[in-house]
Amino acid sequence: MTHSITYQPEFDYDIGYDYKDLGMSNKLFCTFSTESNLEELLSTIQTKYKIIYNKIFVLYSKSQDEYICTYNVDQVNVTNFLDNTILVHRKKESNTLYTINSLNRLIESLNGGVLDVNYRVEWTDYQNCILLTKGAELKRVNTKLYRIIDL
């Protein structure tokens, strides 16, 4: 399987695609944007993908001064990703978004450097944020709901 990570200078974390995760038909995509590009990006998302549940959630990170658009996509006809887009997972009870790499880093940091797939994360400690990586570093980006777009 191919795993590609590229650093986008515009955003301060790893942006990459893990193609082994593309087997399921419903994916949660997360696309990062500046304020100046947000409206154009939202329009592009709506024309490029079949959005499941007819909603795009736009989050805002004050510390990073960036917008984070999340949306569920019917993966069947997706052949490529928009720039600055990653696949994420979500814990509904805490509204936490995370990548698999960031979850692994989090478990290692909480468990004395040991990656244990059975380790239980206390998700309430990570409410309203997205967990990302930059190289070997775990990054926590706190977010607030900016708006919900009903399609």
Distance between CA atoms of residues 98 and 42, nearest Å: 21
The 3-state DSSP class for residue 117 equals coil
| Residue 107 CB neighbours (<10 A) | 19
Cβ 42 vs Cβ 56: under 8 Å = yes
Highest mean pLDDT among 9-13, 34-38, 77-81: 34-38
**What does the pLDDT look like over 62-100, one tens digit per residue?**
999 999 999 999 876 677 889 999 999 999 999 999 999
Strand order of the β-sheet with 51-61 is 137-142, 129-134, 96-98, 85-91, 26-33, 66-74, 51-61, 144-150
**Residues 67, 145: contact at Cβ < 8 Å?**
no
Band (pLDDT 50/70/90 cuts) for residue 8 is very low
Q: Which residue has the higher pLDDT, 134 or 59?
A: 59
Distance in angstroms (rounded) separating the CA atoms of residues 2 and 87? 15
* 3 vs 37: CA distance, rounded Å: 27
The mean predicted confidence, pLDDT, of the chain is: 86
What token pair was written down for 87?
């696949």
Instruction: Say how far apart CA 99 and CA 26 lie, in whole Å.
Output: 16
How is 37-76 classified by DSSP, letter by letter? GHHHHHHHHHHHS-EEEEEEEEEEETTTTEEEEEEEEEGG
Name residue 24's amino acid.
Answer: M
Whether the full predicted model's pTM is greater than 0.85, yes or no, is: no
Q: Which residues pair with 122 in a beta bridge?
A: none
